[in-house]
Amino acid sequence: MAVPGHRLDRMFNPKVVAVIGDKGPGYMWLHNNLPLKERGGRLYSVQLDEKEIPGIEALGVQNFKSVLEVPEPIDYALVAVPRQVSPYVLKDLIAAGAGGAGFFTSGFAETGEELGIRLQEQLASMAREAGFNLVGPNCMGLYLPKAGVRFNVDAPVTDAGEIGFLSQSGTHGIMFSLVAAANGMYISKCASFGNAIVLDVSDYLEYLMLDDETKVIGMYVEGVKDGRRFFATLKEACRRKPVVVWKGGQTEAGARATMSHTGSLAAPQAVWDGMMRQCGAITTNNLDETIDAMKMLLRAKTPRGDGMALLAQTGGQSVSMTDAFAKAGLRVPRFTDATYTALGEFFNIVGGSYQNPLDMAGTIQGNMETLDRILRIVDADPNVDGMAMELSALFAARQWKAKPETLDRTIATLADHMARSEKPFVAVLHPAHEAEYVASIMPKFNEAGVPVFQSFERAAAAYRRALDFARRRGPSAIAGSAEV
């Protein structure tokens, strides 16, 4: 979806892309962006080296020896040339009227070398003077799945993106996009922006908050150039949609690492935390927490309270599950008398319990009608605001493997519950000793829209973050909720 009139709109919705300086034998950047052609775009190469041209043309990509020779206006360029050459390439891109460029080229201020600092200042000065959209340098550039523009050959090409992601680290940008896809969630637009010498996180954030395709925004950031502007932009973005912020360099040692990584000066953590609270951002500490927060926001209903019904398969797990959710500041209340009466009519208490938490494997015994009956009874309890249910690979994997239809019925039962209930539901499936098998069945849960977490602690933390966000903003603030 375009944001007409925004300075980044042309670059974020490219029809013509040029890769400048790619080399064999892999031709990484050309391979990454071949899907652009399959989606109706035009992909060109710019390469002076005669030895490289046959390999480029073998990919079906037309090569030119100068940016200025490309026969139509370039919407976005990916630049992978030696750092000393980069000012000359930028000069040509400006002269050609390109919409923007990501500079994969590194070796600038992050090195601390005089030459690198001088070249970076030269690029910044040229781009600012021309009003040019320079992404990076020292970055992986843009990942635009709908257009077929990618920063990694494994990144999906899809129209199903809902997450806008910004990353000062190329690795984190790629990792997030791949792990999110493995969890059934896809990127709408992603920018890896490295040293951020011209376009900073606030520029990209402003675009994503206006982009209707983007339901949730996430970011990995090590430092910002203009704190006042970032504060104002983030606050407005959080007013419009959920923003999940993963900050790099939270410790003194980590802050030193950000300096050598992207040349960023980290703000004191206490100041940063205060800013996040004032803006209403959802903060995370790592990739897993960021993925979990996104999953909760996009797949579960909006939490309206902290009263949890916990449905475990066995007694020991019911205790662990309760500890995890209680430590996250969530309540595990008693059910109403009506709920206990209804459950008491059929619940097997020999080796089981229908207190909250439930110990229910002995009652269900693979019968989905019984599971559905439990879900309906607990869901109707006014003391329950949300529900978390354990799926046990330890006990169920053998049956699911032998009779795959039992897994399908389980997923269908949970999906039906989620569709009719107004309360959030999360599932927990620890891989146990069946990691490979559990990984193989996760796409089924993803396709059904059932949010599955790998541990009680991760599910509880994600629920807590979504609840805190909902309390700050109101239920309609959650993009993936039924209310929107």
Domain ranges of the chain: 8-296, 302-473
Please give the Cα distance from 318 to 148 (Å, whole number): 46
Three-state secondary structure of 129-179: HHCCCEECCCCCEEEECCCCECCCCCCCCCCCCCEEEEECCHHHHHHHHHH
| pLDDT at residue 262, rounded to an integer | 64
Range of weakest confidence among 74-88, 255-269, 365-379: 255-269
Tens digits of per-residue pLDDT, 329-370? 999 999 999 999 999 999 998 889 999 999 999 999 989 999
Tens digits of per-residue pLDDT, 301-321? 999 999 999 999 999 999 999
Please give the Cα distance from 176 to 219 (Å, whole number): 10
Tens digits of per-residue pLDDT, 318-340? 999 999 999 999 999 999 999 99
296 close to 451: Cβ distance less than 8 angstroms: yes
- The average confidence (pLDDT) of the chain is 94
Per CATH, which fold does 302-473 belong to? Rossmann fold (3.40.50)
Per CATH, which fold does 8-296 belong to? Rossmann fold (3.40.50)
| pLDDT at residue 479, rounded to an integer | 42
Nearest by Cα to 216 from 238, 247, 192: 238
**Mean per-residue pLDDT for 135-154?**
97
Q: Do domains 8-296 and 302-473 have the same CATH topology?
A: yes
Quick check: pTM over 0.85?
yes
Q: What Rg, from alpha-carbon coordinates, does the chain have?
A: 25
Please give the Cα distance from 59 to 44 (Å, whole number): 11
Amino acid letter for position 168: Q
Q: Which residues contact 85 (CB under 8 A, 6 or more apart)?
A: 21
| pLDDT at residue 480, rounded to an integer | 44
From the number of C-beta atoms within 10 Å of its C-beta (0-12, 13-18, 19+), residue 439 rates as exposed
| pLDDT at residue 484, rounded to an integer | 30
Please give the Cα distance from 119 to 32 (Å, whole number): 27
Please give the Cα distance from 481 to 442 (Å, whole number): 21
Which helix (DSSP H) or strand (DSSP E) does residue 221 occupy? strand 216-221
Please give the Cα distance from 422 to 436 (Å, whole number): 33
**Mean per-residue pLDDT for 62-82?**
98
Tens digits of per-residue pLDDT, 407-424? 999 999 999 999 999 999
Please give the Cα distance from 186 to 184 (Å, whole number): 7
